[in-house]
């Protein structure tokens, strides 16, 4: 779209939630154009003409990635939203500057040539995603959240500047400001203030000219979003969830109970392996960069289900990173606190002992004891957690400990030929005096890495592939900024995560409907790899296939695969990471 003066041209992906307020500000300042329509795109262009780029971006609230061409200055400015909800890739290929929302957009250029970055591949094997600013291709980068990149061109269209992005907003600044100006009211004051803010944000994100609904898993985050939506809506909210025949992974009953209590118009789908068999071959096209968070599958299916009824859906993503929802936040601080007091040699012996017992044996022990264990000890995959603790006891610093918690294999470099784990925000972070707890530090690391590069990628690609727009209230800058003013014990208290969200939700839904062990949005694919997905996986993990590909160590990977098939270890996650790359390579490089 062109601005009124035709100085600015924008290509844009996203939604500006406060664009009507921005129009009002322009009216008050006496600088509005003759409006041609009602879109937020036109509002942004008018703001750029009136205020310039920096001032406009500072006032925008929303999710966005855009490229703005300034005909007068001959500059192109790329901008990505604060929390990384919308993607933006760029790079120079054979002298041509390319940018787009997905790597496959860049691949369409006739000059596109790029080689796989083996370090990025190593990170994929380690974490299930490629952390920014890296991409799977050398020379192609992700624009980081809260950053902008301005490049200059001469009259002949030749690039005349370096590719150096700069932050216009940083989460770390928000954290420092929040810690410097903490919320000083009572617990009840904090609960009331956050509830009002959530109502304001969710109401602003419900403005839509098209049918709107929400994903509802039955967990705290999505239930609270749904409850508030229903509170401010004049009609039943449309809610969507999926479930599985395997009760260990199925949350559909919880979602249904919440929907019944709230009074939403609920739709659910029970997923079978047959649903996934047709979807798995499509994943390389949907994600275009190899991506291996297995919850990509149910996320796609719930997006597909929702799109049959609505065009926009709100989600509960982001609350875990902002309000302390992951199990590791509650356990890691305590474990490291006690572990660090044990002399290193003894700690190492304890770690080796825990690791010497196979994960499957730990799982079997906890299954046998489950009738007598308190509910707080009921968790999926306890064997994996004990192995995490075993790894912890062998480590020397909390940074190493956190890396071990997020790593799906202790030695990814042994699996990728010529690959090394790249430097990321985590390895560069070091001690940060402003954060007085390990829990807060982990939350920041997750919000800077896992949230934009895994969670946001998963939801954005899955929904966009179904022509569904998703909106994420918890990632609104107002929520994020308020959350970092809250003391830690309003998030994690007495072994309970997201305390303040639970308190708000209890005003809408009986606690019995949501006070239960946390469950991820997963699928039983570890079991499925041994049966309905076996032929597909065996073909991609064949020794000759791996050797011909030239990226993986065939011997080490075959050992993992054969151990998994024999039930001698559950290696589903690292195997899925490798399978997703193999599938991606087959699709895009042949």
Per-residue pLDDT of the chain (590 residues; tens, 9 = 90+): 999 999 999 999 999 999 999 999 999 998 788 899 999 999 999 999 999 999 999 999 999 999 999 999 999 999 999 999 999 999 999 889 999 999 999 999 998 989 999 999 999 999 999 999 999 999 999 999 999 999 999 988 888 888 999 999 999 999 999 999 999 999 999 999 999 999 999 999 998 888 899 999 999 999 999 999 999 999 999 999 998 776 666 678 889 999 999 999 999 998 887 888 889 999 999 999 999 999 999 999 999 999 999 999 999 999 999 999 998 888 777 777 777 777 777 877 877 887 788 877 877 777 777 776 666 555 666 777 777 777 667 776 777 788 888 999 989 999 999 999 998 888 776 655 567 788 898 999 999 999 999 999 999 999 999 999 999 999 999 999 999 999 999 999 988 899 999 999 999 999 999 887 655 556 777 888 898 889 999 999 999 999 999 999 999 999 999 999 998 878 999 999 999 999 999 998 76
Query: Taking Cα atoms as reference points, which of 1, 19, 15, 11 lies closest to residue 463?
Result: 15
Question: What are residue 84's phi and psi, to 5 degrees?
Answer: 85, 30
| Cα→Cα distances 384→264, 429, 524, 532, 547, Å | 37, 26, 15, 24, 29
C-alpha distances out from residue 212 to 9, 306, 308, 379, 424, Å: 30, 9, 11, 34, 37
CA distance 168 to 144: 11
Q: Which helix (H) or strand (E) holds 364?
A: helix 359-369
Look at residues 223, 117, 251, 302 and name the one whose alpha carbon lies nearest to residue 504.
223
Give the torsion through C-alpha atoms of 206, 208, 210, 216, to 10 deg.
-20
Residues 376, 382: Cα–Cα separation, whole Å: 12
Count the Cβ atoms, other than its own, within 10 Å of residue 552. 22
Question: The pTM is what?
Answer: 0.90
Q: Are 4 and 49 contacting, i.e. CB atoms less than 8 angstroms apart? A: yes
Q: Is 254 helix (H, G, I), strand (E, B) or coil?
A: helix
- For residues 350 and 414, what is the distance between their CA atoms, to the nearest angstrom? 25
Q: By C-alpha distance, which of 532, 581, 537, 522 is closest to 298? A: 522
């Amino acid at each position: 779209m062109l601005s009124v003066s035709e100085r600015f041209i924008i290509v844009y992906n996203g939604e500006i939630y406060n664009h009507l307020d921005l129009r009002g500000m322009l009216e008050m300042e006496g600088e509005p154009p003759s409006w041609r329509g009602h879109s937020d795109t036109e509002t942004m262009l008018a703001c750029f003409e009136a205020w310039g780029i920096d001032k406009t971006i500072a006032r925008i609230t929303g999710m966005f990635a855009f490229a703005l061409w300034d005909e007068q200055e001959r500059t192109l400015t790329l901008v990505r939203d604060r929390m990384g909800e919308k993607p933006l890739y760029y790079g120079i290929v054979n002298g041509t500057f390319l940018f787009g929302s997905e790597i496959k957009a860049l691949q369409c250029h006739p000059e596109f040539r790029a080689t796989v970055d083996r370090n990025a591949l190593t990170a994929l094997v380690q974490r299930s995603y490629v952390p920014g600013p890296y991409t799977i291709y050398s020379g192609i980068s992700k624009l980081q959240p809260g950053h902008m990149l301005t490049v200059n061109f001469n009259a002949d269209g030749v690039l005349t500047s370096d590719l150096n992005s700069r932050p216009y907003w940083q989460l770390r600044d928000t954290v420092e400001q929040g810690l410097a100006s903490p919320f000083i009211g009572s617990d009840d004051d904090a609960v009331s203030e956050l509830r009002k803010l959530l109502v304001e944000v969710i109401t602003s994100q419900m403005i839509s000219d098209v049918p709107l609904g929400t994903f509802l898993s039955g967990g705290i985050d999505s239930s609270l979003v749904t409850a508030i939506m229903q509170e401010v809506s004049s009609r039943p909210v449309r809610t969507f969830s999926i479930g599985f025949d395997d009760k260990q992974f199925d949350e559909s009953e919880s979602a249904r109970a919440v929907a019944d209590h709230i009074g939403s118009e609920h739709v659910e789908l029970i997923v079978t392996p047959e649903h996934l068999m047709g979807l798995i071959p499509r994943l390389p096209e949907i994600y275009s960069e190899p991506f291996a968070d297995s919850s990509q599958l149910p996320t796609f299916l719930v997006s597909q289900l929702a799109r049959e009824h609505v065009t926009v859906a709100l989600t509960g993503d982001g609350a875990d990173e902002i309000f302390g929802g992951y199990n590791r936040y509650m356990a890691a601080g305590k474990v490291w606190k006690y572990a660090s007091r044990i002399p290193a040699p003894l700690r190492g012996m304890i770690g080796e002992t825990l690791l010497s017992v196979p994960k499957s044996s730990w799982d079997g022990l906890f299954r046998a004891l489950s009738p007598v264990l308190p509910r707080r000890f009921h968790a999926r995959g306890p064997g994996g957690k004990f192995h995490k603790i075993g790894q912890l006891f062998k480590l020397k610093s909390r940074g190493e400990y956190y890396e071990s918690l997020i790593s799906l294999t202790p030695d990814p470099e042994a699996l990728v030929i010529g690959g090394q784990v790249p430097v990321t925000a985590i390895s560069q972070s070091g001690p940060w005096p402003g954060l007085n707890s390990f829990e807060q530090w982990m939350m920041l690391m997750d919000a800077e890495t896992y949230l934009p590069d895994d969670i946001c990628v998963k939801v954005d690609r899955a929904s966009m592939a179904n022509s569904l727009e998703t909106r994420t209230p918890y990632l609104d800058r107002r929520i994020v900024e308020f959350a970092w003013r809250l003391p830690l014990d309003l998030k994690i208290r007495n072994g309970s995560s997201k305390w303040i969200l639970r308190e708000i939700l209890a005003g809408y839904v009986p606690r019995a409907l949501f006070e239960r062990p946390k469950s991820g949005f997963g699928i039983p694919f570890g079991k499925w790899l041994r049966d309905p997905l076996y032929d597909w996986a065996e073909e991609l993990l064949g020794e000759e296939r791996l050797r011909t590909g030239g990226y993986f160590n065939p011997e080490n990977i075959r050992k993992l695969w054969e151990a998994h098939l024999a039930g001698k270890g559950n290696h589903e996650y690292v195997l899925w990471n490798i399978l997703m790359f193999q599938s991606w390579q087959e699709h895009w490089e042949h």
